[in-house]
Amino acid sequence: MGSLTILLLMPLVALLVILFLPTGKKGLLAQVTSGATLLQAVWFFVSILPSFQNGVAQFMDFRLVEQIQWIRLDLGKTGLLNIEFHLAMDGISFILVMLTVLVMPIVAYKSFEVEKRPKTYFALLLLLNMSMLGCFIAVDFFLFYLFYEFMLLPMFFLIGLWGGARREYAAIKFFLYTLFGSVFVLLIMVGLAFSFTDPVLSAELGRPVYTFNMLHMMPDMAGHFGNMVPGSIFSTGVDLMGMDARSLAFFVLLIGFAIKVPAVPVHTWLPDAHVEASTPISVVLAAVLLKVGGYGIIRICYGLFPEAGVHYTFWVALMGMVSILYGALVAMSQKDLKAMIAYSSISHMGFVLLGIASLAPAGLDGAVLQMFNHGVVSAALFLIAGVLSDRTHDREITHYTGLWGKMPRYTAFVLIAFFASMGLPGLNGFVSEMLVFLGSFGGFKNAPIPAWISFLSVLGIVFAAVYFLRTFRQMFFGEFSYVGTGDAASLVDLKTKETILFVPLTIMMIVLGIFPGLLLQFMETAASGYATLLSAFH
Amino acid sequence: MELSVSYQLRALLASLQASVGGIWPELVLIAGFLLAIVLEITVGKRLRSAVPIAAMGSLGLYLGAVLLFWPGEQLSDLGFLHMIQVDRYAAYMKLLIGFCSLLAVLAAQQSVKLRIHSKGMGEYYLVLLGMTVGMVFMTMARNLLMMYIALEMVSLPAYALTAYARMKQKGAEAALKYVIYGCFASGLMLYGISWIYGFTGTFDPLAANFGPGLQAAGIWPVTMAMAMVLGGFAFKIGALPFHFWMPDVMEGAPHSVASLFSVAPKVAGFAMLIRWMAMLQQGLGSEAAASHGILSNIHWMLAVMAIGSMLLGNLAALRQDHFRRMLAYSAIAQAGYLLAGVLMWQADGFAVVMFYLTVYLFMNMGAFLLAGWLEEAAGIVRIKEMKGMAGSLPWVAGITTVFMISLTGLPPTAGFIAKLRLFLAGLAQYEAEGNVLIVILLVVVLLNTVISLFYYLRVSSTMIFGNPTIKSWPAFRGLIPVVLATMAIPLLWFGIISFDRLINFLGTLAPIVHG
């Protein structure tokens, strides 16, 4: 059993333990969950990191490969269909798995406060944990899809059972939206499986063996699809309903993953979900779940359909730009702190789209790094909103003034997180946003996306400064006063338990702002390799 | 002359005698049926459990006999003057039907409401056994006349079973609706068959003059006749446009009957439909332009039926609060998915439908048995009454979620694999035939998956979210946890652990088509 399987099994084992624990022992349940997530993080650094010690040498350099024959369907005269339990990790997966294992202990620790049905809560949290990890390390498309769809179910219950007043509405909206995106991925997945064969198995068994292995569906560096079945549904140059089938597939997948990201105009589930979800769930949602969308766009949309990706990259960039600007503008007008952070999330995830669409090495590096950085920063931001909800059950920005004097430690963390999110140099947000712009401006004239998109996107950073600074001024400067319905006396500074949550995130924001190379060494070749792959189709 | 008649008669009798060998399992079932009648008349009043035990015993023996007399792979003889075809395809469908009936007997026996019925329960089991005989003959019927007779053998007992709760107003209304629609549909089918007989002079789709006869009749008259025949099928499988009985019967009939009707006649109907389509394809031959036109028209009709059933079932189910009524509309939608599978005729469509039906049996039967238990134990018939049930009955909520997620078709349940299998066949069919209709059909299936999520999930989310309005919940003890677990575990097993063996096995069970 390899390191990656063990990583996936850890939450499952903890889940089994939890199921046999008595429901009443709330503290024990939380401890088991926190322990499992911590163990997961330790395992990551002890067992997985060493394989990546020297950085990743080449593009598509998958390590810790575990490939087990799982399911073989006989489809009669069509041939065989092979599904493998195939896990592996390249630089991009590495970064995102790292993000997951770092954020989950914080989420579990924050969940100690859960009062209602703790057993169900922690069981669902562990299931969610496992399926998110699975998404990032599955190489077989079928396996990826299982994790991808299964993720929705625990999330649905986690929002709907432990959230705010309109939580059930938010939960079902979340589920319907994201399911709408993912069911069409199923159609494309099956079509892809019929368009590519496994060269080794086909030769071995003497009949076409269709495959879900994503590596077989990618072209080589010269842009040649070696395993493509000529004339099959997603082979080059085939028409489907009057459109190029591969372009159609690209768009369907793009919409599916854009819903997850979420990009404007398919973002509307996100503010509802965030506003209604409890703090730890908001943290998972923003920090990890959204990254599955960005990951899917790189790995699947651009990785499997590079020619369509290159051809339609303008539209992806446009979607990124609209998300950046629209998210930022709407964030400016929010009264609820959590809603503002949710919209700022949309804006910051827009940079991921822009970076990918730039097709440039710097842009792709920036996109992946931005996912990590956004994970760290948004986790902190949602915890910040959570601190206020815990105290007064009131997140109305204008209800607060002069918190600085009352809560100095809290203010310090808020300041750093706000600055990191704004992209202040020296903090992590700056590095990835700069890389994205480096990529998207490109050689200016040679760039695949027009310069005006990049120019307008820069405004997103300006807007971010506006809403973050304005909020900060409103809430922290001046004389202390609180005008909401909550208890003003409850507004005391962070306790040690809460500080523990912020410290690791803040350290990461600062360290990665100064030494981005710590992360970049693991992923830069993996991410920029996609630029090389895509350059074959320019 | 006289000699030759008696010679013919003797040959006929000999052939009939030889045919009996093919239906040993059915003879077991019929013997059980007769035994149950005798028991009902003699000791039925004193020994109330005699008839149900006989019914369960004969169904159990029947399942054993089907396995024991598992047909070989080679072409078997056509039984009873080419009326029936005994093959492994039919045998598998019989297993599904027998299992359903067994569960229905079990559910009825557990039902307190039925047990206090003024006339006693004996007849109930008798009629149920009779209906099972009809259904298993449907799976084997290869001749239009036999198809019609088998269909009626199912319909008549079905009317009686629905009316078993006629003392309730809903029950009487359901039975009346069922009879009226049933008579209309079967009359229509008979009329269609008479047209086909008029065109060809035969009831056997593989007879020599069947294809030429239809080709000579022209595309549109034959399409008309086929449409009428399809009407009879649509009634049995609960698809558009003869679905009207479903919601009322599912709501008004005793719950054991409803659970049986939502699955078993559908299995039988699809078994017969697929055999009919396969024979029709061969009987028509593919050379003539006319047969091409006829087949294409039939495919269009099936596609419209499929799309209509999915949309109507799902959209109507959205607004239901009565649990069984919601499941009835969901069953209409599921018939639509299954019909989409029938259309994948060039790419193992039969295997798609067989797998889907297998999964459907577990998830739908499971959901209905659950509904029945809720009704019996807690008097809960509406979804909103289930509010907050998960707090006291977490296992019930968990199992319900498995059924609902599987009915929606999401991982990690078998419902997802069933949809996946449909898509595999659909795209293989598209690649073979290049018909955009198939892609449209698949897109409609996907859209409907999203719509259906809303109402399926509402059941489990009502159970899990919200605060309970009922103070004391029934105990989840005794037989029901075992039965529900038996239904739920295969859904997870075929959903995540291993489904390739069953799918590959079903792929080898193509209905035998030969004349």
pLDDT 10s digits, B405-453: 999 999 889 999 999 999 988 888 888 888 888 888 999 999 999 999 9
Q: Which residues of A touch B410 (CB under 8 A)?
A: 149-150, 152-153, 179
DSSP at A333: T
Please determine, for residue A444, whether its predicted confidence score (pLDDT) is greater than 60: no
pLDDT 10s digits, A298-349: 999 999 999 999 999 999 999 999 999 999 999 999 999 999 999 999 999 9
Q: Shortest Cα distance from A176 to chain B (angstroms)?
A: 6
Find the range with the poorest average confidence among A95-104, A140-149, B41-50, B305-314.
B41-50
User: A with B: how many residue pairs have Cβ under 8 Å apart?
Assistant: 105
pLDDT 10s digits, A431-441: 999 999 998 88
Q: Shortest Cα distance from A200 to chain B (angstroms)?
A: 21
Name the residue facing A161 among B411, B425, B465 (closest C-beta): B465
pLDDT 10s digits, B451-467: 999 999 989 888 888 77
Number of H helices, E strands in chain B: 21, 2
Residue A66, beta-bridge partner list: A87
CA nearest to A161 within chain B: B465
CA nearest to A80 within chain B: B504
What is residue A57's predicted lDDT score, i.e. its pLDDT? 61
The DSSP secondary structure of A4-58, one letter per residue, reads HHHHHHHHHHHHHHHHHS-TT-HHHHHHHHHHHHHHHHHHIIIIIGGGGTT---S
- Cα A456 from Cα B254, distance rounded (Å): 66
Residue A228, beta-bridge partner list: A196
CB B457 within 8 Å of CB B404: yes
Q: Shortest Cα distance from B246 to chain A (angstroms)?
A: 27
pLDDT 10s digits, A164-187: 888 889 999 999 999 988 888 888
CA nearest to A177 within chain B: B450
Q: Shortest Cα distance from B154 to chain A (angstroms)?
A: 34
Q: Which residues of A touch B439 (CB under 8 A)?
A: 240-241
By DSSP bridging, strand A243-244 and strand A400-401 are: unpaired
pLDDT 10s digits, A55-93: 666 777 888 889 988 888 888 777 888 899 999 998 899
Q: Do B431 and A232 touch (CB under 8 A)?
A: yes
Q: Which residues of A touch B351 (CB under 8 A)?
A: 76
Q: Do A73 and B427 touch (CB under 8 A)?
A: no
CA-CA-CA-CA torsion sign (B279, B285, B288, B293):
positive
Q: Which residues of B touch A208 (CB under 8 A)?
A: none
What band does A486 get if pLDDT is binned at 50, 70 and 90? confident
What is residue A158's predicted lDDT score, i.e. its pLDDT? 92
- The share of chain A scoring above pLDDT 70, in percent, equals 99
Q: What number of CA atoms fall less than 13 Å from residue B383's CA on the CB side?
A: 24
- Cα A148 from Cα B57, distance rounded (Å): 46
CA-CA-CA-CA torsion sign (B43, B49, B52, B53):
negative
Q: Which residues of B touch A184 (CB under 8 A)?
A: 443, 446
Mean pLDDT over A402-431 rounds to 91
Structure tokens at B339: 């019909």
- Cα A353 from Cα B205, distance rounded (Å): 59
Mean pLDDT of chain A: 90
- Cα B254 from Cα B175, distance rounded (Å): 11
pLDDT 10s digits, A42-55: 999 999 988 887 76
This prediction's pTM: 0.92
Q: Which residues of A touch B391 (CB under 8 A)?
A: 117
What is residue B348's predicted lDDT score, i.e. its pLDDT? 82
pLDDT 10s digits, B24-33: 889 999 999 9
What band does A126 get if pLDDT is binned at 50, 70 and 90? very high
Find the range with the poorest average confidence among A453-467, B311-325, B371-385.
B371-385
Buried b (16+ CB within 10 A) or exposed e, B22-35: bbebbebbbebbeb
What band does B153 get if pLDDT is binned at 50, 70 and 90? very high
pLDDT 10s digits, B64-95: 999 998 887 765 667 777 888 888 899 999 99
Structure tokens at A185: 């991925």
What is residue A22's predicted lDDT score, i.e. its pLDDT? 83
Q: Do A175 and B446 touch (CB under 8 A)?
A: no
Buried b (16+ CB within 10 A) or exposed e, A438-466: bbbbbeeeebbbeeebbeebeebbebbbe
Name the residue facing B423 among A74, A168, A190 (closest C-beta): A190
* SS3 readout for B166-232: CCCHHHHHHHHHHHHHHHHHHHHHHHHHHHHHHHHCCCCCCCCCHHHHHHHHCHHHHHHHHHHHHHH
Which residue numbers of B have CB closer than 8 Å to A's CBs? 347-348, 351, 390-391, 394, 405, 410-412, 416, 419-420, 423-428, 430-431, 436, 439, 442-443, 446-447, 449-450, 453-454, 457, 461, 464-466, 496, 498-500, 503-504, 507
Please determine, for residue B491, whether its predicted confidence score (pLDDT) is greater than 80: yes
Please determine, for residue B116, whether its predicted confidence score (pLDDT) is greater than 70: no
Please determine, for residue B486, whether its predicted confidence score (pLDDT) is greater than 70: yes
Q: Which residues of A touch B431 (CB under 8 A)?
A: 78, 194, 231-233
Q: Shortest Cα distance from B89 to chain A (angstroms)?
A: 16
Please determine, for residue B1, whether its predicted confidence score (pLDDT) is greater than 70: no
Q: Which residues of B touch A150 (CB under 8 A)?
A: 410-412
CA nearest to A82 within chain B: B500
What band does B118 get if pLDDT is binned at 50, 70 and 90? low
Mean pLDDT over B262-279 rounds to 93
Name the residue among B80, B94, B235, B97 with its Cα closest to residue B155.
B235
For residues B490, B492, B493, B498, the Cα torsion angle rounded to the nearest 10 degrees is 140
Mean pLDDT over B39-51 rounds to 82
What is residue A466's predicted lDDT score, i.e. its pLDDT? 93
Name the residue among B302, B51, B111, B294 with its Cα closest to residue B196.
B294
Name the residue among A444, A397, A417, A122 with its Cα closest to residue A281.
A122
Mean pLDDT over A441-447 rounds to 67
- The share of chain B scoring above pLDDT 90, in percent, equals 46
pLDDT 10s digits, A280-301: 999 999 999 999 999 999 999 9
- Cα A127 from Cα A11, distance rounded (Å): 7
Picking from A142, A144, A150 by the largest number of B CB atoms within 10 A of its own CB, the best residue to mutate is A150
Please determine, for residue A220, whether its predicted confidence score (pLDDT) is greater than 90: no
What is residue A443's predicted lDDT score, i.e. its pLDDT? 57
Q: Which residues of A touch B457 (CB under 8 A)?
A: 156, 172, 175
